[in-house]
Amino acid sequence: MGVDKCNVYGVFKSAKMENVVAKIDWMVAYDFLDISYNGKLPMIVFTDRGWEIEANQRTEEFLREWDQWINEGRPIPDMTYLEDRNRHMILLLLEKVKETGDNKYIPYLEAWYKVDYKKVRAAIHETIKVFQSEEPFDPTSAIKRENTMKEALKGFAPFDFRIKCWECGKRFIFTVGEQKFYKQKGFSEPKRCKPCREKRKLELYF
Ligand SMILES: [Zn+2]
């Protein structure tokens, strides 16, 4: 399936399987990844928070790839490779192209415009128009996006975050206050949601 062509292929090759599994478990616990069932097949999928980071990363990679191809003087690739990608990510890529204000991307945009679907085409057209208008680019959206990213990347403290309950699988909020309290007491983070903790307590009593 060409998975070995993916640029993160082999990133953890020096880690042991149990370490890789621990990383994935951590990301599931901290709301970056989730497990979803496709029929009987379990799949690891991004949560909104995880996707925020991944989409940002992936669009950077697309752009760097374009830079490399342009520097090497390669002919414009078959732009259909961007077809059927996540729409949110594609629009983010176009935003970033816009923000560079660099005309060198115009041939890529024009080639892309010819092959993609209507909705993406409209966004590509918008991007080309920005280059042609020579109006200064409004950085507000870029700044806002950067902030969202930083929030997402911050991971846990010092803001409320969600933890997946071991027992029922639902996510619950672990507030900043609770985080402080747990830290002071030297407790590790709760593994179960409140209802499940209460239920367990009762079971231990009786
Ligand atoms: Zn629970």
58 and 124 co-located in one domain:
yes
65 and 126 co-located in one domain:
yes
100 and 176 co-located in one domain:
no
User: How do residues 71-111 score in pLDDT, each as one tens digit?
Assistant: 999 999 999 999 888 888 999 999 999 888 888 999 999 99
56 and 139 co-located in one domain:
yes
Q: What are the two backbone dihedrals, phi and then psi, of residue 39, each rounded to the nearest 5 degrees?
A: 65, -120
- CA 13 – ligand 1 centroid, Å: 34
- CA 167 – ligand 1 centroid, Å: 5
168 and 91 co-located in one domain:
no
- CA 192 – ligand 1 centroid, Å: 5
List, in sequence order, the alpha helices (H) in 116-193.
118-133, 140-153, 176-185
Q: Which residues contact 35 (CB under 8 A, 6 or more apart)?
A: 28, 42, 43, 44, 45
- CA 170 – ligand 1 centroid, Å: 6
Q: How far apart are CA 65 and CA 96, in angstroms?
A: 14
Return the beta strands (E) in the chain as ranges.
33-38, 41-46, 161-164, 171-174
**pLDDT score, position 153:** 66
How many CB atoms sit inside 10 A of residue 123's CB? 19
- CA 172 – ligand 1 centroid, Å: 8
Angle subtended at Cα 143 by Cα 142 and Cα 144, rounded to the nearest 5 degrees: 90
User: How do residues 177-186 score in pLDDT, each as one tens digit?
Assistant: 888 788 778 8
88 and 111 co-located in one domain:
yes
- Look at the chain and report how many structural domains it folds into: 2
122 and 141 co-located in one domain:
yes
**205 belongs to a structural domain:** yes
Q: How far apart are CA 77 and CA 52, in angstroms?
A: 27
- CA 27 – ligand 1 centroid, Å: 18
Q: Which residues constitute the domain of residue 71? A: 50-150
89 and 126 co-located in one domain:
yes
- CA 66 – ligand 1 centroid, Å: 46
123 and 146 co-located in one domain:
yes
- CA 164 – ligand 1 centroid, Å: 8
**21 belongs to a structural domain:** no
Q: How much is the pTM?
A: 0.64
User: How do residues 1-39 score in pLDDT, each as one tens digit?
Assistant: 787 877 778 888 999 999 999 888 888 877 788 888 878
**25 belongs to a structural domain:** no
